[in-house]
Amino acid sequence: MKDSLIVLSGGMDSTTLLYEYADDIALAVTFNYGSNHNAREIECARYNCQRLGIELIVIDLPFIGRLFESSLLSGADAIPEGQYDDDNMRSTVVPFRNGIMLAIAAGMAESRGLRHLMLANHSGDHAIYPDCRPEFVDAMSRAVAAGTYDGIDIRAPYTLLSKTDIARRGASLGMDYSHTYSCYKGGERHCGRCGTCTERREAFIQAGLPDPTEYEE
């Protein structure tokens, strides 16, 4: 019985989670909050959900783009270049984004009679993004369970995995990563220079897998 809702961006990590747990997932939710790469990610999320026969709902959160400060919301030129864990990547943090999204997802899950929320945070996120760290996920899971009649929880099976580990899992599932998107600049092709592009490229190299991504350089 499908009893889970996944927060799906359309990137490598959440799409791998979607495929790995497709038999458990009744609903995928993605959020359009005004980031540079939202449109590209949502396109990928739609493709993969249609392929798996999983319902996808896109929720607009325009207030984030209006009221929050982040280079991710300020156009491609504002995105720093370099390694994913460089200090300058802190500018890409959208304050408490996962907390907001998980709260909405919890309400939707309870409305649909679902018991679990699925999130694809991983160990590479921990240095920069506070709302991807294990202590946040554990605390948020307790809060969601306490605030719902059925005790909905958060399942985040990739929390301690690297992106390389995730790429290997996807390869074992036969995934086509050309239908995922990572670049924070949001162009037609991945820029190849921003932190998320370098992390993506390194994950394929370290996993010993062919990289299907088209990079500008």
Residue ranges of domains in the chain, CATH in brackets: 4-207 (3.40.50.620)
By percentage, how much of the chain surpasses pLDDT 90?
91
User: 125 vs 158, which has greater pLDDT?
Assistant: 158
How confident is the model over 10-32, as a mean pLDDT? 98
Do residues 13 and 163 touch, judged by C-beta distance below 8 A? yes
Among 61, 26, 14, residue whose Cα is nearest residue 152: 26
Residues 103, 108, 110: CA angle, nearest 5 degrees: 95
How confident is the model over 44-71, as a mean pLDDT? 97
How confident is the model over 34-54, as a mean pLDDT? 97
How confident is the model over 55-76, as a mean pLDDT? 96
pLDDT at 85 (0 to 100): 64
How confident is the model over 45-57, as a mean pLDDT? 98
As a whole number of angstroms, the distance between CA 156 and CA 174 comes to 21
How confident is the model over 64-75, as a mean pLDDT? 95
The answer to whether residue 84 scores a pLDDT higher than 80 is no
Do residues 13 and 156 touch, judged by C-beta distance below 8 A? no
The answer to whether residue 15 scores a pLDDT higher than 70 is yes
User: 106 vs 217, which has greater pLDDT?
Assistant: 106
As a whole number of angstroms, the distance between CA 129 and CA 93 comes to 6
As a whole number of angstroms, the distance between CA 177 and CA 213 comes to 8
pLDDT at 105 (0 to 100): 98
The answer to whether residue 21 scores a pLDDT higher than 90 is yes
pTM: 0.96
pLDDT band at 126 (very low <50, low <70, confident <90, very high): confident
pLDDT at 110 (0 to 100): 98
pLDDT at 86 (0 to 100): 66
pLDDT band at 82 (very low <50, low <70, confident <90, very high): confident
